[in-house]
């Protein structure tokens, strides 16, 4: 379990109490893990599988949102953040890659459901192509039919790419359910359609600054 000082240094001191407890676990997927110190049983929402819901469902790397508000596009974006910064607006369901000159490349995302949204400052600490998926023991106890391990690939709930956020359990990753983009469905991770995360992955180096906000600020 990380200390309070380490949590503050990571830029996640504003996490809700339930999320802060999650950060202390070494998870391999964005999943809610009940703390042994809980005095109340988890809510039904916390029992929901969030990183895919359908292991084995195939969504190819060509899956891109091409129409509507969540389609990838260059937009006007006023920000004091330096070129190359990622800014996540959870309430808007967008992640912005700052381009400078009041412009940003905007991607539609799926975000954490109620009780699992957070804000803070982190950096991209690791990148992975077609990441593996290992449901944690607590999830397997609730849903024993899930695979114990799923190698990376088109049917993997973690999608085609993953950007790991600092030392937290959260990441920006793909999904084999592109229809969930624009919805609050995860336990704190941010998901993009596979084609979009591949595009973003190629543009974002290790160490990239990531600012997570609940909404836009002028």
Give the per-residue pLDDT at 139.
62
H or E, element range at 98:
strand 94-100
Give the per-residue pLDDT at 136.
63
Task: Assess if CATH 3.40.50.300 describes domain 4-33+63-213.
Answer: no
Domain ranges (residues) in the chain: 4-33+63-213
Give the per-residue pLDDT at 168.
86
Give the per-residue pLDDT at 9.
44
Q: Which residues of the chain have pLDDT under 50?
A: 1-29, 31-53, 55-56, 60-61, 217-218
Give the per-residue pLDDT at 62.
54
Give the per-residue pLDDT at 138.
60
Give the per-residue pLDDT at 49.
42
What totals of helices (H) and strands (E) does the chain contain, helices first?
A: 4, 11
Rounded to 5 degrees, φ, ψ at 182 are 95, 0
Give the per-residue pLDDT at 35.
33
| Long-range contact pairs involving 82-87 (C-beta distance under 8 Å, separation at least 24) | 82/209, 84/204, 84/205, 84/208, 84/209, 85/208, 85/209, 85/210, 85/211, 86/124, 86/172, 86/204, 86/208, 86/209, 86/210, 86/211, 87/210, 87/211, 87/213
């Amino acid at each position: 379990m990380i200390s309070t000082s380490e949590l503050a240094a990571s830029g996640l001191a504003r996490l809700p109490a339930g999320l802060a407890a999650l950060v202390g676990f070494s998870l391999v997927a964005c999943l809610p893990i009940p703390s042994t110190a809980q005095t109340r049983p988890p809510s039904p929402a916390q029992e929901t599988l969030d990183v895919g819901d359908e292991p084995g469902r195939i969504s190819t790397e060509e899956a891109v949102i091409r129409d509507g508000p969540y389609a990838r596009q260059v937009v006007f974006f006023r920000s004091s953040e330096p070129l190359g910064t990622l800014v996540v607006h959870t309430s808007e369901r967008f992640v912005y890659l700052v381009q400078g000159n009041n412009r940003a490349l905007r991607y539609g995302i799926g975000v954490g459901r109620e009780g699992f949204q957070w804000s803070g400052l982190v950096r991209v600490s690791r990148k992975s192509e077609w990441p593996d998926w290992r449901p944690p023991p607590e999830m397997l106890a609730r849903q024993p039919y899930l695979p114990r391990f799923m190698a990376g690939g088109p049917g993997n709930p973690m999608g085609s790419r993953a950007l790991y956020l600092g030392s937290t359990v959260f990441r920006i990753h793909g999904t084999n359910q592109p229809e969930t983009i624009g919805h609050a469905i995860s336990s704190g991770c941010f998901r993009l359609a596979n084609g979009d995360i591949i595009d973003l992955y190629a543009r974002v180096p290790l160490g990239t600054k990531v600012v997570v906000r609940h909404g836009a600020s002028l």
